[in-house]
Structures are given as structure tokens and as C-alpha cells.
Amino acid sequence: MSYVPNTPEEQQEMLASMGLSSIEDLLAPVPEDVRLGHPLDLPPALAEPDLRRLVSRMAARNKSLDTTISFLGAGTYDHAIPSVVPHLQRRSEFVTSYTPYQPEVSQGILQATYEFQTMVCQITGLDIANASLYDGATAMVEAVFIALGPGGRGEVVISQGVDPQYRRVLQTYAFARGFTIKEVATENGVTSLEELDAAVTPSTAAVIIQQPNFLGCVEDAHAIEAIAHKGKGIFITTITEPASLGVLASPGEYGADIAVGELMSFGNAMSYGAPALGFMAAKQKFMRLLPGRLVGQTVEEGGKKQTGYVLTLQTREQHIRRERATSNICTNQSLLAIGATIYMAAIGKQGFRELGELCLRKAHYAFRQITAVPGFEPVFQSPFFDEFVVRSPIPASRLERHLAQADIIGGYSLAESYPELENCILFCVTETRTREEIDTLVAALKEVQA
Amino acid sequence: MSYVPNTPEEQQEMLASMGLSSIEDLLAPVPEDVRLGHPLDLPPALAEPDLRRLVSRMAARNKSLDTTISFLGAGTYDHAIPSVVPHLQRRSEFVTSYTPYQPEVSQGILQATYEFQTMVCQITGLDIANASLYDGATAMVEAVFIALGPGGRGEVVISQGVDPQYRRVLQTYAFARGFTIKEVATENGVTSLEELDAAVTPSTAAVIIQQPNFLGCVEDAHAIEAIAHKGKGIFITTITEPASLGVLASPGEYGADIAVGELMSFGNAMSYGAPALGFMAAKQKFMRLLPGRLVGQTVEEGGKKQTGYVLTLQTREQHIRRERATSNICTNQSLLAIGATIYMAAIGKQGFRELGELCLRKAHYAFRQITAVPGFEPVFQSPFFDEFVVRSPIPASRLERHLAQADIIGGYSLAESYPELENCILFCVTETRTREEIDTLVAALKEVQA
Amino acid sequence: SVEKLIFEKGAPGRRATNMPALDVPMEELDELLPSKMLRSEPAPLPEVSEIEVVRHYTHLSQRNFGVDSGFYPLGSCTMKYNPKINEDMAGLPGFGHIHPLQPDTTVQGAIQLVYELERYLAEISGMVRVTLQPSAGAHGELTGLMLIKAYHQSRNEGSRNLVLIPDNAHGTNPASATLADYKVVEVKTNPQTGGVDLEHLHTLLEKHGPSVAAIMLTNPNTLGLFDSNILEVARQIHEVGGQLYYDGANANAVMGITRPGDMGFDVVHFNLHKTCSTPHGGGGPGAGPIGVKSHLVPFLPGPLPAKHGDGTYSWEDAGPQSIGKVRANKGNFGVLVRAYTYIRSNGPDGLRSVSESAILNANYVKHGLAEEYEIAYPLICQHEFVATARRQKQEAGVTATDIAKRLLDFGMYAPTTYFPLIVPEALMIEPTETETRETLDEFIQVMKQIAEETRTTPEVVKTAPHTTVIGRLDQALAARKPNLRWEPGQEVTHA
Amino acid sequence: SVEKLIFEKGAPGRRATNMPALDVPMEELDELLPSKMLRSEPAPLPEVSEIEVVRHYTHLSQRNFGVDSGFYPLGSCTMKYNPKINEDMAGLPGFGHIHPLQPDTTVQGAIQLVYELERYLAEISGMVRVTLQPSAGAHGELTGLMLIKAYHQSRNEGSRNLVLIPDNAHGTNPASATLADYKVVEVKTNPQTGGVDLEHLHTLLEKHGPSVAAIMLTNPNTLGLFDSNILEVARQIHEVGGQLYYDGANANAVMGITRPGDMGFDVVHFNLHKTCSTPHGGGGPGAGPIGVKSHLVPFLPGPLPAKHGDGTYSWEDAGPQSIGKVRANKGNFGVLVRAYTYIRSNGPDGLRSVSESAILNANYVKHGLAEEYEIAYPLICQHEFVATARRQKQEAGVTATDIAKRLLDFGMYAPTTYFPLIVPEALMIEPTETETRETLDEFIQVMKQIAEETRTTPEVVKTAPHTTVIGRLDQALAARKPNLRWEPGQEVTHA
């Protein structure tokens, strides 16, 4: 199946109209000694129906969350997607357009992005937001770059409550740019205030926490803010579960300078974890330091002065700040941002709050039911939102196999990232898990004991 | 989940603005003695996620053709749907519009329908076509109404090779309108020319065949045409498998006056058999008799004279011919017609021919493989397109259960409609069945013998 | 602007989709079929690439206006919002990709859905059983009349050959009656109430009583008015042995408030694409289920869904008195899934709120327009009402058509015009319950502006629309010289 | 025209979607969380009904132009047709609804797809292994430079701190180098060939040789020209111990014809959203896989997919020399499914035909424009070329921007303007292989007409666009007084 419309005959006519006889004439600049002398070693072309069959079969080899009961969260959350979201997000005028370099024919993407920026401010309680970033982890790195400033050296303090994947990404970038990372341990599931206080010094460029943190626990953000702002460093909060903002104090309320994180779960397919939707919101003073694209409101030139939207404070590839760059971000996640925008419009003010409440209540129901099963013990006493840690009486891998037999994907086994938490499972319960499903899990856990 | 946007408070304000205090004031014309005194006895409202779960579970109780191998045809055919079709057909400007009463803002539906009419002419080889009808069966009835003319009485000759469901529908309408039906038997799977010749008289209003017929066999349409046109009656051909037109002589080529049938399988979901897509094409002379909607090309009034499209020769409900009507068709199947139009554009001239050839070749391969299994005997010697009849050595119901165990839905058991064909199965093999799937069927049939 | 026809695009040899590869032995066609049966000329379908197909039909969609594009106050058509969840549910593989002849054991969910939907519709209409087979409202009408005919015949009253129909009825009513081989007798509208003229009815029944097979009514009727005398009408018809047929086109006004069954009707059809929010799709598909009282049940078309003691479902043949099949297969299933989803979404209170809100919105708009436009019957209306351009016609020669066309310039669809036939220069307006107050206010505002333009710059109205992709089209030419298909060599003309 | 913001729509208490019912015991929030942790003010998200959401974003889409809307010759962005089958495959529940932390046994199809796609990309680029993790081209660049950095460090050459970049390079190249803590040294373009100025390169290497970490190149470069000296460049760089980085933005010109690996490159990134037809989505998501030669394999980020003898697949951690993770999870999987589908659709011959046709189309347009527009480098181009408005600027003060804006009036998107920076008034044109000859002819025709207008009615061009929903916007105002979010009380202004 080819998507080249012109037939060989037409191509021949086009060549002839230029006085050429063969496509070879146009390949002349490619020296013989770099030419590929044989066809690429790839499987042969497939017609669409054969292709559909092949790829559908591969997809069928995956266990979709539609056909299993999953309690996985750990950075990627299953929130119901209202039908309107894909119907609108997938309109081809959005999907097949590019970065809105010509605003006059791109007002749709631009206005939707402006609305996205506004909604990110509304849920985070901060002043400004950008048009999106690759994912939560790289968004966190970008926030660190802001903190470090040009040159990019200095010291960053990060809680071990932050998603281990995010911390590993930060380490990679630290290697490249040459900054220093200090990790602060957790205690009873939350960042140790004592250790944090010891770690933050006048040379600390940034303090980073995650809220709720990777262990599901809600940090005492107000207390952390006080410590983080002891010096001149900025306070960065990472949010991987945006549903939490429906009930938890917003970064703006507890004084974060920059909030970053992940909004993929708002209206976008989970898609094995990506494409994701990193976001960044900040206090007003960081406006000219925000990486990635920004959409601004303006008016028409000349007489009519209608309101319109443009990319502004631009760092697009043609005039990116090149050698003076503090970020190389060009592509953003526009289409996912539109999905999240439509999602937030659809659930609205009331629904956003209810979403948080549902997750909170269902998770606490599950926590109580699970920890009532003999042998399954709570690990932390700190408050939590929609994830919590339970210690399994049997090895985590055995538990995984046991639950798989009941078509359940249990929680995330923490030992790989937190060796001290052997056989500890992080369960996630969002609004998409029903009581019946939770009870099914509990019943399966009871069998473990039997 | 409600789709009423205005809140109760807003509704109260709206009432107040009219000087009313309650919605009750507006229900005053409904006398108390016809009022429903209690809420409707229906299940309570569901939020969208709960609704999705409920309905998805019902859907999951059906065995989709995606997860089984089916050899069912018998009037409803499985043809692959190119991805472009639903992407375009589902654009909301098409889906959520109505009959194009205001052509200036409905050029999309109108032009697509004009293209549909043209394509129906192109595949049938006839002069004109309408904008679609409910389904093949009712389209056939509408063709009979044309033949009968106002008043609707007379005699109709129909081959028993026509889909039994279609014949039953014709009987229902004959009861209502008071016309007479003569059925002509088949011989060796095709309409008995001898019996047909005997049945057609000077008072015959119409002769109806199906091509290929319900038993899969290809009629000798040229010979039938000669008989049908002996008197003043018109010759109607019914086509339920439009893919056949890629290789078989078109109704125009063999001299049919009207071709009717079913185009649902071109680009539209099978959807348990409906909504379907009845079509009607005819010779030019029937133009002003065609039922349903017709789109015509015209030009702008006044100076500009751009080409545009309108409903024409209209029988829309406001000025339908009322008592003088020869049809009461109002709603057509526009959205399905658009699907079929996009489908035919996508497969194109070459693909349409290839489609027919693929069905033909695959069906003949399957026929030979199946009838090579001891005990499975061919029933007819007539040529066939993509369906054929095989006699099973075991009762059809037992065969069905046997194949179900191999996740195969075998063909259609003919005995219900053709008592003389006990344990005869009509197998259908379109381009969507692979050789591997056919071989799987054959392997399962071999086990029957073992 | 003009979009070329797909036939004018492409080039020989181009194609969009490829067919699957041939995976069985290649055989020549004439080895498989006698050559006289083969097509001699390939069908001259377009030869276009995938990008051409996509751009072409994308452009056509951009030249079309739907409910998702804006306000669509097309009276009698109930252009309410079409929920997207309905589309998703109908598209599930378990509903979208099943064959009508699959064994019942493999389609339990489908039969269950049909079974339950039938019961919901029976409850909503106050009927005993419902058949979901008819494909559209008019198809339902014809089916309903066939049931009535079979009923009368079963009582040896087959000679009843008249159907009474009000002068404001939908055009399909008399057409359906004619097709069912009935003679139509028109019943006058009472000019005060807008309902059936009881005196006229009485006169007709005195004269034709024993010949009357049925009366076909909508209530509220096409004027948007609820006929308060409905029980009296029913009494009179039943007294002479006739049946009452309820045209459900206006059912959006009555859900949870009153029921055709309780008003005395014997047969009712639904337009699921109106009342139950399934999309109109540019003119279809629809679905026109028929509900009946118990005396008509034996005549229903088959098959009918049945639920068994063990919780399984199956299709059962209709009984010996059945009129037979009215279409192939089991009704417009894809539409039924959408309607089912809609009813389960709303629940009983939701459906009542639908009707109440539809009534409120219609009265609100009527109230807003009353200053500038004559209202045909200035009474409390139900889900719709009929305004007129009589004043504008008299004062400035501006017609209902002109006003309709001018509305298009403001990004709104037009009301139904010139219907019902008994109201000159009619503008039949049905806002539906899914419109916001702001949209209604905007419509009122625009209509007032058009009335003002009629006074000050009538030419602007008479030559509208001005902002659409094409101006008013020559309908007369289209009918006089019908051009119903493209022929090679024919090209579109551009300004 | 103006579309209000979603925040200006709706009313208190309105909502579109409902949340599922609470099916566990109701508990007060402050029983579950300390009150100081609770949000004090609800987030002021919109309060709108479903129909408002649908109409709003439908209207916004109607105010946007995509490849499906028309020709999109945006140079360097490869705005080719995005096949719809790709979208369908990515949306399959088995791909669309799986969690990144599911056990490998439950995602065998996903790992298989990644595993195979990696091999396909390695073959296309002539590399040994590929990581699919980077999220976009610039992310790939940075990842590639990190690999180079780790490589040099492993050889105790960590002091190499320079990256050479041509003056016509994509802006992300120097930015990425800076982020990887490298200093950028610009390499001049040879004004005759449009390729790397070998003399200048030689001078730089003589001076900086031991400090050179890498050179970043595209080939064909941003002028659309294939640098025939590429092997010589590679030789020189390798001679001083540097690495060659291939910016794959222009890979649409080389598939099946030549391979970065064969040209001597050590690292290459792909832009799957360009070369492999995945949609650009208004600016993302993309995907920027990185392919490497064997000496760089140990440094790749993990995890990497592995296939086992029994046909199963699993994720394996990267080795001890890995640079670590560059993002969370396993790369932009949804994008990868689309790219996989595309490659399987085309096969080896199809991919070569893609590049050949892209080259043909670009030369065809260049040839068509050459009479009216100065071509920056009037040589055989590959998949794109750079025209200029120099003549138009001189003669009538009409700029590249003016021409770009005027194109919009004809239903076409504009070329990339003012890039590469070394060409004044640049119009960078990339038609791609998926455009028909007719579309190319139409574009040439329109460009000629604009050239004619420049001579006869330059004001029409300078004040364009005239037919779009909004005219030219005040960019200066936007930057001077940035308004990046809506605040209560703020209303859009209408003409």
C-alpha cells in the first residue's frame, strides 16, 4: 500500500516536462559510493486489509485494561475518557496540522492551547503555564534548568518520594550538563523534613518534591515550602496524578514556584505510557524563562482589532536561541494538550472536584478492605490520595501470578526502586475501579491466605 | 447523564421572564385525565462511565466477526472497510445534519449524494439512480410500485432465487396494496426458464430476479431478459452482493429496467444487518417515477452561476404527493450512502474489479476444498460468484455446533427457506476470508467425517 | 466556491486502497464463469489516490452544517444534540460487526438490547408491545396501517377503507394511507384551538363511520399545540369502530408527561432519530418502531425477541396472524443501540426533563419573537410553534424563504418553512431541549435584526444568503432539466 | 470572526460529563485527609454543557488548517499525508489501553512491535541499534550528544567540548549542543555547492581537532541539497577523533537510496512524525528515535527490547555504561505503532518510491517557480528547496511573509519562511511525495499569480490574507505585553 498518488506514467511525464528522462537524473548528487546497492531488507509491502490483520493480531497479544482489572498507577493513571474528547480531538484539522506558524489559519490550535495554558493555571493555582512538554519527567528537568539558569551548573535537592523514573532522567541530564543532585530519603512514606532541612543550603538551586508522592502519600507541602525557601532556591513540585488537585491544596496554595507533571491521563489514551503530556506552570516572574511553546492573546494589525492568538516569546526552531539556549524544546504535545483541554472543559469545575473525591474515597475503601485481609499489612501511616502501599505476606512475584489467574493486574511492586520495601505493593484505585472489582481483588487476596 | 444544558435555576429565570412561575404553567394544555401520574418505569439514569460499562458488557456478549471465522453471507456480506471511510463518514458535519432543505449550507451532503447516484449508475450500467432507500428488500418493493403504477394492483412474477426475506416483504406489501405474486421455482440453482416463460403473461407488471441469486448461482440474465420483456412488464434485478458487479455483466448490459439491492457492505458497518443501504437505479424513462430523494445539479440564481446541488423532483414530507403518492419514502439512508460513496472512491475503478475477482477466486478455492472432503457434496452445477451450496453429511444443526467449537460460524442453513434443501449449507467467501481460514474450515469439516 | 466532483479528480491508474493479496491459486475468470456472464466494460469509478479521497470528502464536510456546527431549529425534525457516547456504543465490535444470521447463542447481547429497548419504548408510549423493525417514521406509519388493516380484516371488517387525517398533518400520513390502499379524508383544524375541529369530525363520522379504518394524529400536532380534546376524539373514533394512530414525530414533548396509550391511541410510531437523539445523518438512517395495544399484538411483524426463564434470549417467529416482514433482518440495529444508550443515560426523570425543557425552550423563543413575528396560534405551545412571515410579506415582500436564507448568514440553520400547509408563510420552529439559553437569546436577537432589516434594507434579506459557500440555487432549473448524475465531459462551473 | 473562549461560555452549575456514581461508603473528606492538605478553592474550570463543549471545539477545528484541508508545503517539516489506518491501529485497545508497568507477559505484542520497529529503523539508517525512547527530534539530538559524550568519556577524551554545526542547521542543533554542555562552532556553507565548506572545515579541524566532540549535519541539508562530499567530511571528522551526528529531519529524501550509516555517520535521529507519516498534531507528539553504530551501543538508554529463543519478548535493562533514562516509560508508543504500520504498509520498494517521489515533486515545483522566483541554490535539489522573495522585495517591497500570507488566501498553507538563516527572504518549500501533480501545478500557478500581483497590485499581497477568519496579527504586541492566560472579566474583542 503506497501513499504516493502519481502513477509511474505521470512521474515520467513530470520528468519529461523538466527535460529529464529518469528519476536517476535527480539522484545525481548522491555519490555512487554512498548509494545503497540493494533494496532495504524489510518485509514486503502489505495491502491495508492484510496490514490491519497483522497489526491487530499483535495488539491482541497484549492484555488491554478493557479486559482485565488493574490496580496499577505508579505514575500512569487510568481515568475515564468522556466520549466527546476523542470525537473532537481527532478532528483532522487538529490532527494533521503542524505548529501554528501561520496563525491566520491556525486559530483553532492556538486558541485551544491558550485555553490549555489557562486551565493548567486554574488547576495548579499558579500564574502562567506553557503549551506542554514531552512528559512529566522531562518537564521536571526543564524546571531544574530554569532554576539552574544559563550554564546549568549547581545543586538540586530532590526527595526520594519523587517517581524513581523521574529521578533517573534527572541523573541523565545531570551527567550531560554537570549539575549535582542530592536525594532526600522518606520516612513513614513522606519526605523526611529533618533530612530535607539538612540538605538545603544557600547554594541549593532547587528543591523538588512530588505531591502526592510516588508512594501515594501526601506530603506536608506547607512545611516543605518553608524549608525549600530558606535559601534562594526555587521550590518545584511534581504532580503525576492530576486528579489529586481536585481535593488537595494546589501548588499555588502551598507556595510552589513551579509545578510540573503529567496530564496524559486527562482525556488521552494510556498507550503504554506515552505519548505523554508534560506540563509546566509557574509564578509570573518566570514568564520569560519558560521553555517550549507559549501562546499569547493579541489583536489584529490594522483596523479591525479582533482578538486572536499567536505563538509568542518564541523559541521555534528557526529562531530558537541557538547557542544561548536554556532548552532545546521544539516539538510539544499539542494534540494531547487539546485532549486534556477538552477533558477539563467536559468534566468542568464540579466534575474536577468530584473526580478527586471519587478517587480518594474508592482508594480508602480499597485500602481498608485489603488491609483487613490477614497478612496484608499497611506500610505507612501518612495520609494518601488514591495510591497506598501494602506489604504482601508472600513474595510479590508470586502474588502477581496468583492475581493473574483471576485476570487481575495487582499493584506495582516497589522493591526494584525501593529495596527496603520488599514485597511491598503500591495499589492504585481511581474512579474507574468499581466496588465490585475491588471486592474481586480482595477475594483473590483472601485466597492467598487460605 | 442529561443533555439538557440549562440548569434548574436558569429554567426558573426563563419562566420568570415570561411571567410564569413553573413549568406546570406550560403543561396546562395537557388535561389531567391523560397525565401520567407517576415516573416512567425505566431503569435510573447512568453517568457516562457507568453507561459505557453496561453497554460494553452487552456488546461483549456477542461474538463479533473480529474474533471468529464466519462463512455467512446470504444477503449480508463482509467486505473490508478502508480506514478512510469511517474517518470521513463520521465527520460531524455529515452525521449531525439533516435532509438538506437549505442547500446553501448543505452542499456537502448534496454533492456527496450526487456522486453516490452517479456511482450507482456506474456500477449498475443504468442511467439514473436515487439517493438511497431503507434496504434492498424495500427497494425491491418500491421498484414493484413503479411497475404497478398508481393504484398499485396487478401481477408480479418473482423467482424463488430471490432472497426469501425479500419475498416475504413483498408479500406483506402485496397484502396491503392488493397485488398478486407468482413465484417461479429454481432448477439446478437458477430460475427455471421454462417455468418463468409460462408465468409471464401480457398482464405481468414486473419480473424479478436476483443476481447472483440467493443460492449463490449466477442467473442467465440475458435469457431471462428476453422472457421478461415478452409482455409490457418491466424487468427488475435485485443485487444483494454488489461486489459481484466487478466481474459480472451489469444490469445495464443485460437489459434490466430497474436494478435494486443492497450496498451496505460497501463501507458501512455490518451492524447486525442494519441500518442497511437500499439502492435503486433505472433506465432514464423512469426518472420522474423514482421514489425517495433525488439530488440534481443546478446553478446559482442571479449572476454568478456557480454549480451547486439541490434536492429535486422533491417528495419531501411537506409537499410529498400526499394522497396521490406512489411511495411514502421520506427518510433515506444518506449517511450510509456517503459511506458507500467514499468506499467506491477509495477502491476505485481498478479495486472494484479486483474485489470481484478476489471474491470469485477465493470462493472457488473454498468450494473445491470443501467438496473434496468426503461426504460434502456440491448441490448445483450452475456457475456461482462468492457463495455456493454444499450438502452436509450430518444434520446442519450438528454441523453448526461442531464448527462453533473451532470458533467457526459456518454458512447459512437453507432448509428453513427451502425445505427441499435439507442439510444444505450456503457458504460465502469474500475477500476478507484468508486461505488459512478456509483451510481451517476444511480441516474442521474433515473431522466431521473422522 | 465550488468543489469539483470526485469524477473530475484523479488520473488513470491512481488508487487509494489496495485489495488484499490473492492467497489462493490464480485462475482466469473465464475458467470460473461463462464469458457471456462477464462484465464487458469495467465500471468507470473514480481513479483517485488516498489523499485525494480524504481532502475531497473533508472539503465536502466543510461545506455542510450539522447540529455540532450550530443551532438547527428545524421544526418537526427535533434536531437535538446527538451524544457521542451513542456513536461509540454502536461502534463496539460486538454490535458493529455481527451478522444478522448468526446463531442466537452468539448474539445474546444484541437480542437482550432489542428486548429491553422494546420494553422501554412500550413504557414510554403506554403500549403493550413494540416492534423495532420499521426503518423510519413513514415506514412505521405504513406498518401501523397494515396492522390496522389486518385487525379489521380479522374481524371481517375489511371493507373499512377510509383513514381520517387532519389538514395540518405530516405529508407522509396521507402518502402512507394511500400506500396501504386507504382513501384519505381530511379533517379540519379548529381555528381557535388549533386542534381537531370536533364538529367537523363528528360530521365525518356520521357520514363515514362504518367505513373508517383509522384516524392518524400527532399530539402535540404540527402547530406545536396539544389537543386537549384528545380523549373525546378517541371516544368518537372508537365508537364507530376505528383505530387511532399516533404519529410520534412530536413525541419529544410528552415523555414522562403523558402517553399515547393513555390518550386512547391504539398504534404509535417513534422516530428514534428525533426523540431518542440518534443522528439524522444528512437524511438517514432513522428508525420508526411501532407500539401497539394488546388487540393488535397478534399482527406484529416478526421475528420478535423473547427472554427465557434461564436468562437467555432468542428470536421468535411471529404468529399466524402476523402481517409478515416489512424489511429484511431485524430493524436498524445500529440506530437501536444509540436509542438504548440514550434512554439508559437519561432514565425516567431525565426523559421527563427532556420534554419539559423542550417545551420551555419553545415557549421562550415564541415569547421572544412575538413582538416582531405573527405567531400562527398565539397559545401555550409544546415543543415547537409556528411563527409566520405574513407581516414581513405584506409590508416588504419578504417571504419565509427570505428569512430562512438570511438566518444562514448568522451561522444558524433555518426553521422549517411553509409547513404546516394551513399556515401561510409558516416558519416552524423547534429549538429542542439541548440548546442553551444564550443560543436561544442569540436566535431571538438575530430574528429581530432580520425583522428590522425587512423594514430598513429588505434587499439584504431578499438576496440572502451572503456568507455561505454558494448563493441561492436555481431550483426551477433543477426540476425542469434534471441532471441527476455526472457524465464524462461534464465540468462544474465556477464563478 | 472571533470564537469566544470556553471560559466565557456556560453558566454556573452547568456540566458536560457526569462522574460515575459513588459505589463505596461515603466519607467526609476531612475524615480521610488533614484539612490543611485540602484545596480551599475549587479550580475555576469552565462550567459548560456537552453541546457547548462539542460546538466550541468543533468551531475551533474549523478555524484550523491541516494536511487533510489542503497543500502544506512547509519546508523541513515534511507535511505528508497521514494514513488513517495508522490512527486505527494505534487506537486498538491492545495498544491504546495498556499500562507501561504491566508485566512483560501481558504486553508481548507491544514489545514485539518495538523490537521489530527498532530493527526496521536500523536497516533504513544503516545503524546497528536504535533506541525508540526520545520524544522528538530535538530530544533525539540531545540524547545522541549524550551518547557521544559518554563515549568520549569512556575513552578518557572527556575534554572534547566542541560541536561543529553548519550555518544552515536547524536551530535545535546548537541548542541541543549547548544543553549537552558543548560549545558550538559554526561551519560555513560553500556558496557554490550549498554543502559544507570543506576548506573552512579543514581550518577549524586544524585549529580545534582534539577538542572536537562531533559534527551535526543533515544530508540533504536544509537547502535541500545533497552534500556530495559527505564521505570526505566524515573522513576528516573521524580523523580528529570526532563523531558524526545525522539530523534525520530530512530523511524523507534518502530512504532506500542511501543511508546515514553508509555515509559515515555514527549517530542518527529519526523524526517519525516527518519521515514515517505520523501526524504532527498541531505541534506534537512526535518521536525521535536514535540509531547508533556498534561503538555507541553500550551507552544507549534503557530499557531495550529483547527477543528470546522461544519467541517471547522482554524488556532488558541497559548495561552499566548506559547514559540512563531520557524520559519516563518506553518512548512515544502510540507514535511508534503508527510508524510501524507505515513501514509495513510501504515495504522496501514503497519506501524508496517515497523518497524518489519526494525528490521528483520538489524538483518539479522548483522548475515551475524558477521563472518568477529566485532559487537560492539553482541546483538539483532533493526533497525540498529554498526559493526567495529577494526579487519581489527589491522590486515592490513584497516580503517572504507577504507571499506566505497571500498563499493562505488560496486555501494553501505557506512554506517555511526566513529559514535557513543564511538565505534572505527565504521560502523553504517541501511538497512531499503525497501530493498530486495537479496540486503542484496549482501551487505553481498561484505562486506565479502572486508574483504577477506583486508587479501589478502589491498592496493586495502586502495586506494579505484577506479570506481567512482573521487578518494578520500583532506579534509585537503579543511579545511586549504577553497575555498567556485568560483571567475572569477578560473578554475577546470583536470587529
**Domain map of chain A by residue range?**
65-79+349-449, 84-343
Do both C192 and C245 map to the same domain? Answer: yes
**How confident is the model over B69-116, as pLDDT tens digits?**
999 999 999 999 999 999 999 999 999 999 999 999 999 999 999 999
Phi-psi region of C325 (alpha: psi -120 to 50; beta: other; left: phi over 0): beta
- Whether the pLDDT of residue C480 is over 80: the answer is yes
**How confident is the model over D153-164, as pLDDT tens digits?**
999 999 999 999
Q: Do D438 and C9 touch (CB under 8 A)?
A: yes
pLDDT of residue B153: 83
CB nearest to C45's CB, from B247, B348, B404: B348
- Whether the pLDDT of residue B449 is over 70: the answer is no
C-alpha cell belonging to residue C98: 455481527
Range D102-127 average pLDDT: 98
**How confident is the model over D311-340, as pLDDT tens digits?**
999 999 999 999 999 999 999 999 999 999
Do both C158 and C17 map to the same domain? Answer: no
pLDDT of residue A315: 52
Q: What percent of chain B has pLDDT over 90?
A: 92
For residue D178, tell me if it sits in a domain: yes
C-alpha cell belonging to residue C307: 427472554
Which of the residue ranges B315-324, B325-334, D297-306 has the most confident prediction, judged by mean pLDDT?
A: D297-306
Which residues does chain D have within 8 Å of residue A302's beta carbon, measured at their own beta carbons? 463, 471-472
pLDDT of residue B316: 40
**Phi, psi angle pair for B219, to nearest 5°:** -75, 155
Residue B309 and residue B131 in contact, taking contact as beta carbons nearer than 8 Å: no
- Whether the pLDDT of residue B323 is over 80: the answer is no
Q: Which residue of B has its CA nearest to D62?
A: B93
Q: Which amino acid is at C254?
A: V
Range B182-194 average pLDDT: 98
Which residues does chain D have within 8 Å of residue C438's beta carbon, measured at their own beta carbons? 9
Best residue of B331, B355, B425, B426 to probe chain C, by most C CBs closer than 10 Å: B331
Burial D147-169 (b: 16+ CB within 10 A, else e): bbbbbbeeeeeeebebbbbbebb
**How confident is the model over C186-240, as pLDDT tens digits?**
999 999 999 999 999 999 999 999 999 999 999 999 999 999 999 999 999 999 9
Query: What's C393's domain CATH number?
Result: 3.90.1150.10
- Whether the pLDDT of residue B319 is over 70: the answer is no
Query: What's D132's domain CATH number?
Result: 3.40.640.10
Range B228-253 average pLDDT: 96
pLDDT of residue B318: 38
CA angle A300, A306, A310 (to 5 degrees): 55
Do both C43 and C99 map to the same domain? Answer: no
CB contact residues (below 8 A), chain B span 300-339, against chain C: 300-302, 304-310, 312-314, 316-336, 338
For residue D428, tell me if it sits in a domain: no
Query: D210 preceded by cis ω (within 30°)?
Result: no
Q: What percent of chain C has pLDDT over 70?
A: 100
Closest CA relative to residue D47, chosen from B9, A88, A91: B9
Longest dimension (CA), chain A: 84
pLDDT of residue A316: 40
The nearest CA of chain C is from the CA of D71 a distance in Å of: 10
CA angle D86, D91, D95 (to 5 degrees): 105
Q: Enter the CATH code of domain A84-343.
A: 3.40.640.10
Q: Do D11 and C49 touch (CB under 8 A)?
A: no
**How confident is the model over B260-271, as pLDDT tens digits?**
999 999 999 999
Q: CA of D150: how far to CAs of A166, D145, D160, D177, in Å?
A: 20, 9, 11, 14
- Whether the pLDDT of residue D295 is over 60: the answer is yes
Give residue B317's pLDDT band: very low, low, confident or very high (50, 70, 90).
very low
pLDDT of residue C264: 97
Which residues does chain D have within 8 Å of residue A318's beta carbon, measured at their own beta carbons? 171, 416, 418-419, 421
Superfamily of domain B65-79+348-449, CATH level 4: Aspartate Aminotransferase, domain 1 (3.90.1150.10)
Residue A358 and residue A108 in contact, taking contact as beta carbons nearer than 8 Å: no
Parent domain of D106? 87-345
Q: Which of C314, C345, C376 is the last residue of a domain?
A: C345
Distance CA B308, CA B111 (A): 8
Which residues does chain A have within 8 Å of residue B431's beta carbon, measured at their own beta carbons? 49
For residue C381, tell me if it sits in a domain: yes
Distance CA D120, CA C53 (A): 29
Q: CA of B361: how far to CAs of B190, B384, C29, C31, D31, in Å?
A: 21, 11, 8, 10, 71
For residue D208, tell me if it sits in a domain: yes
Q: Which amino acid is at A236?
A: I
The reply to whether ipTM tops 0.95 is yes
Question: Got the DSSP string for C190-255?
Answer: PTTTSSB-HHHHHHHHHHHGGGEEEEEE-SS-TTS---TTHHHHHHHHHHTT-EEEE-GGGGGGTT
**How confident is the model over D49-77, as pLDDT tens digits?**
999 999 999 999 999 999 999 999 999 99
For residue C69, tell me if it sits in a domain: no
Eight-state DSSP code of residue A220? -
| Of A327 and D45, more confident | D45
pLDDT of residue A449: 65
Q: What are the residues whose beta carbons fall under 8 Å from the beta carbon of B94, sequence distance 6 or more?
A: B108, B109, B112, B335, B338, C61, C64, C66, C281, C282
Do both C297 and C382 map to the same domain? Answer: no
Q: Is C49 on the interface with A (CB under 8 A)?
A: yes
Query: In a structure prediction context, what are the per-residue pLDDT tens digits for chain A, which is 450 residues long?
Result: 899 999 999 999 999 999 999 999 999 999 999 999 999 999 999 999 999 999 999 999 999 999 999 999 999 999 999 999 999 999 999 999 999 999 999 999 999 999 999 999 999 999 999 999 999 999 999 999 999 988 788 999 999 999 999 999 999 999 999 999 999 999 999 999 999 999 999 999 999 999 999 999 999 999 999 999 998 899 999 999 999 999 999 999 999 999 999 999 999 999 999 999 999 999 999 999 999 999 999 999 976 789 999 999 875 433 455 666 778 888 789 999 999 999 999 999 999 999 999 999 999 999 999 999 999 999 999 999 999 999 999 999 999 999 999 999 999 999 999 999 999 999 999 999 999 999 999 999 999 865
Q: Do B274 and C330 touch (CB under 8 A)?
A: yes
pLDDT of residue A232: 87
Do both C275 and C383 map to the same domain? Answer: no
Distance CA A199, CA A204 (A): 8
pLDDT of residue D401: 97
The rounded Cα D301 to chain-centroid distance in angstroms is 21
Best residue of C51, C341, C439 to probe chain D, by most D CBs closer than 10 Å: C51
Distance CA D372, CA D377 (A): 15
Q: Which residue of B has its CA nearest to C9?
A: B345
Query: A44 preceded by cis ω (within 30°)?
Result: no
**Phi, psi angle pair for C365, to nearest 5°:** -70, -40
- Whether the pLDDT of residue B320 is over 80: the answer is no
Half-sphere exposure of residue D397: CA atoms within 13 angstroms, side-chain side: 6
CB nearest to A1's CB, from C18, C48, C52: C18
C-alpha cell belonging to residue C323: 402481517
Domain formed by A65-79+349-449, architecture = Alpha-Beta Complex (3.90)
Give residue C401's pLDDT band: very low, low, confident or very high (50, 70, 90).
very high
pLDDT of residue A318: 38
Q: Is D70 on the interface with C (CB under 8 A)?
A: yes
The nearest CA of chain B is from the CA of D99 a distance in Å of: 19
DSSP H or E segment with residue A258: strand A258-262
- Whether the pLDDT of residue C428 is over 80: the answer is yes
Q: Do C85 and A83 touch (CB under 8 A)?
A: yes
Do both C122 and C16 map to the same domain? Answer: no
Q: Is D308 on the interface with A (CB under 8 A)?
A: no
Q: Is C370 on the interface with B (CB under 8 A)?
A: no
CB contact residues (below 8 A), chain A span 261-290, against chain C: none
Range C343-365 average pLDDT: 98
- Whether the pLDDT of residue B143 is over 60: the answer is yes
Do both C282 and C424 map to the same domain? Answer: no
Mean of pLDDT over chain D: 96
Which residues does chain D have within 8 Å of residue C54's beta carbon, measured at their own beta carbons? 68, 81, 84
Do both C390 and C247 map to the same domain? Answer: no
* Residue B301 buriedness (CB in 10 A; 0-12 / 13-18 / 19+): middle
